[in-house]
Copies of this chain bind each other. A is one copy, B any other.
């Protein structure tokens, strides 16, 4: 199986690492518009060959598009224009509605499988690639009925090699769900970082106090703008709506505190504690 990876960042690099290790791919070729990324990926052996965009499209049995959502929208139709009926293209972006919409009527639509592996870290670049990042996490295939059945089976096998648990969604529902469990947590974290950084202008030692709790909450605030701005704009309506709910919840709490409503605050926290089940605790 010859694997072609377009976009050699954290996700593309980590996929290369584990798909080689677990013998799903025996030859991996890669392209990144940033030559430092592809040279690094070749140097450390994430990929076997640095190739041009055209060769990456021409030569892969499976072509993984691991670039920001705005770039997927741009290059996916170009890739579909060129591939044969034996090749499969998949992407790994965090918004699926706008991408599926863009290629809905493309004559090669069936060769494309819309994927979202729910895994990552706050780091970026191929130097952040890590083995085992996907194990035990969920991966989603959207609008599977628009893809070739065998192509879906092959892609499912690929993610099962990574020990991921398959889920099937339509792209519209997917985008609502990820607004809740991924996009808004990032906004919450960026805003928290900016709140504390503003204070820090005048109080140099505030960060010396930062304990583990603070660190876990702002961890996502280290995520980069290049990836996240396109996600927010492409999932704008859902993000706006969930952000409204989040701000309302904060205002609810503020009202309880304003009123010294001890019982109300305890109820609010006890309810939030139900999130334990999410964390399997």
The interface of chain A, by Cβ under 8 A from chain B, is 118-122, 137-138, 140, 165, 167, 177-178, 180-182, 184-199, 203, 205-226, 228-229, 232-233, 236, 239-240, 242-247, 249-254, 257-258, 260, 262, 265-266, 268-279, 281
Q: Are A266 and B229 in contact (CB under 8 A)?
A: yes
What are 8 A-to-B residue pairs whose CB atoms are below 8 Å? A180-B206, A188-B250, A193-B272, A217-B217, A219-B279, A225-B265, A229-B269, A250-B250
- When distances are taken between beta carbons in the complex, the residues of chain B under 8 Å from A210 are 118, 181, 278
Q: Are A250 and B243 in contact (CB under 8 A)?
A: yes
How near does chain B come to A140, taking the closest CB pair, in angstroms? Answer: 7
- When distances are taken between beta carbons in the complex, the residues of chain B under 8 Å from A211 are 118-120, 137-138, 181-182
Set B207, B225, B243, B268: member contacting A190, Cβ < 8 A: B268
Q: Are A213 and B120 in contact (CB under 8 A)?
A: yes
A165 to B, closest residue via Cβ:
B208
Q: Which of A120, A229, A262 has the most CB of B within 10 A?
A: A229
Q: Tell me, in angstroms, the Cα distance from A207 to B181 when the chains sit together.
A: 8
Question: A218-B275, A221-B275, A222-B275 given. 19 additional CB < 8 A pairs?
Answer: A118-B211, A138-B211, A167-B208, A177-B206, A180-B206, A181-B206, A185-B213, A185-B214, A185-B217, A188-B188, A191-B246, A191-B253, A193-B273, A193-B274, A213-B219, A222-B273, A225-B270, A229-B269, A247-B251
Q: Are B196 and A275 in contact (CB under 8 A)?
A: yes
Q: Tell me, in angstroms, the Cα distance from A209 to B195 when the chains sit together.
A: 28
A278 to B, closest residue via Cβ:
B207
- When distances are taken between beta carbons in the complex, the residues of chain B under 8 Å from A268 are 190, 194
Q: Tell me, in angstroms, the Cα distance from A276 to B251 when the chains sit together.
A: 28
Q: Tell me, in angstroms, the Cα distance from A103 to B276 when the chains sit together.
A: 38
Q: Tell me, in angstroms, the Cα distance from A258 to B271 when the chains sit together.
A: 31
Q: Are B236 and A191 in contact (CB under 8 A)?
A: no
A211 to B, closest residue via Cβ:
B118
Q: Are A257 and B240 in contact (CB under 8 A)?
A: yes
Q: Are B138 and A209 in contact (CB under 8 A)?
A: yes
How near does chain B come to A133, taking the closest CB pair, in angstroms? Answer: 9
- When distances are taken between beta carbons in the complex, the residues of chain B under 8 Å from A219 are 213, 216-217, 279
A226 to B, closest residue via Cβ:
B266
- When distances are taken between beta carbons in the complex, the residues of chain B under 8 Å from A277 are 207
Q: Which of A140, A192, A281 has the most CB of B within 10 A?
A: A192
Q: Tell me, in angstroms, the Cα distance from A275 to B122 when the chains sit together.
A: 12
